[in-house]
Amino acid sequence: MIGIVDYGAGNLRNVQAALDRLGLPWAPVAAPRDLDRVERLILPGVGRFGAAMSRLRASGLVAPLRDFARAGRPLLGICLGMQLLFEGSAEDPEVEGLALIPGRVTRLLAERTPHIGWAPVEPRGPRTSALFHGLPERFYAYFAHSYAAPPEAHGAQALTTCPPTFVSAVRSGETWGVQFHPEKSGALGLLIVANFAGAAAEPFRGGASPASRGPGPTRARARRVGASRNEGLRARRVIPCLDIKGGRVVKGVRFRDLRDAGDPVERARAYDRDGADEVCLLDVSASQEERRPLLALVERVADQLSVPFSVGGGIRDLEEMRRLLLAGADRVSIGTAAIDDPGLISRAAEAFGSQFVIVSIDALRRGAGWEVTSHGGRERRGVDVLDWARRVERLGAGEILLNAIDADGTRGGYDIPLTRSVARAVRLPVIASGGAGGARDLARVLLEGEADAALAASIFHDGDVSIRGVKEALREEGVAVRL
């Protein structure tokens, strides 16, 4: 039985879904007595180091977790869960960690922070045992973080070089940590989870991975989906967008004349299979109709995807964000609510971590510049886009979703000057949206527009191109992508 620590600071549903796909039994661990019924333990984490440790203390789990690990029982920390294994973190210097691994976590000094997206993981040693049994020498995994263990950290098992270089996996005895999200890293991530599930027996002694014998990914499949040609770089992301209205996928031009484009769960699952790096769900009418996000739909999508997905539309407060996190959303996107209450950005970043918070900016050309709009581009807000982008960065946003209203749905290409201007104005990663007509448009906005990711809808919904075909074309253009 695999325990999943439930302390209000992790995306449990996605870890649960990964174990379900592998046919592995799990149980939530919310109190010390729950540890008695599990053989191994997963410690997930989303948010701030200090807040997470506070919740662990409130649950009475700090000492029992230390005892569990020090008794040689297998434990795996994921993302923030890995950072909690150390003695402390620069994010909250006064807070003591679990101290299962010597050393402290430091802030990433990267060109773009938070570090969000797919990056190469390079195991440092034999891959014939433990977590990396059956994986390629180098593979891409999904990250979303601003802090990490430095390269010289004790027990480093894998490094990631983007730059900067940081530890992406660590081990001390039977305690493991991974800075990436294996539950959101596709077939390779599932293989890592499967290896950990057998951590008390075969994989740690060099035996066959359980994933090679049962459900889930095989080692042959793992070899086929390793890193791309540009292996030393963080991959640029291709993100299909599902605009949702009335529980269905819709698409129009400049958010008008919407037409039905299918079932969102089926669409999301198909895009996952086709190689999407993320999926974006936008409830396009939620703000106008003043209703809550579609939690039931989010849960259904979370059960099906092996890659991350974000949710936007109608999100107005921290409680709604928390419900979406618990339903399985990896990140949330706020637009109208952020304009009406900019402090919401800071409060969300404090509660869930900057990497969880995307601010959506709908930009409408005005003279030589661009103006912020809301409610699907229907209301002008009298705010300059570049000024607003800089402000949301100061407030703690983790990423900007930049939609060119003038180009949306036209297939005439992204607004390159707009995207480049915003990308140069901030150090946040920027997702370009609006106007994709083909692979060449995505290549231009990623290279000339300096975007970190390209979002598209119509070209994928209508079957004009496949995601896999677009990524092959991007690779030929010299764009680092995950294949």
Q: Compute and round to an integer the Cα radius of gyration of the chain.
A: 21
And the tokens for 101?
A: 């691994």
- pLDDT for residue 262: 75
Three-state secondary structure call for residue 176: strand
- pLDDT for residue 47: 87
- pLDDT for residue 8: 80
Taking 80 as the threshold, does the pLDDT of residue 211 lie above it?
no
User: Which amino acids are annotated catalytic?
Assistant: 243, 362
For the chain, count helices (H), then strands (E): 17, 24
Taking 60 as the threshold, does the pLDDT of residue 290 lie above it?
no
Taking 50 as the threshold, does the pLDDT of residue 204 lie above it?
no
Taking 50 as the threshold, does the pLDDT of residue 202 lie above it?
no
Taking 80 as the threshold, does the pLDDT of residue 457 lie above it?
yes
Percent of the chain with pLDDT over 70: 87
- Contact (CB, 8 A) for 436 and 405: no
Per residue in 337-356, pLDDT tens?
Answer: 999 999 999 999 998 999 99
**What distances in angstroms separate CA 434 from CA 136, 148, 247, 377, 442, one per listed residue?**
36, 33, 22, 12, 11
Taking 50 as the threshold, does the pLDDT of residue 231 lie above it?
no
- Contact (CB, 8 A) for 203 and 195: yes
pLDDT category at 129 given cuts 50, 70, 90 is low
Taking 70 as the threshold, does the pLDDT of residue 232 lie above it?
no
Per residue in 49-97, pLDDT tens?
Answer: 999 999 999 999 999 999 999 999 999 999 999 999 999 999 999 999 9
Label residue 328 left, alpha or beta by phi (over 0 means left) and psi (-120 to 50 means alpha): left
Residues 6+ apart with CB under 8 A from 415: 363, 365, 404, 406, 407, 434, 435
- pLDDT for residue 221: 38
**What is the average pLDDT across 122-148?**
85
Per residue in 417-449, pLDDT tens?
Answer: 999 999 999 999 999 999 999 999 999 999 999
- pLDDT for residue 226: 40
59-68 as b/e, with b when 16 or more CB fall inside 10 Å?
bebbebbeeb
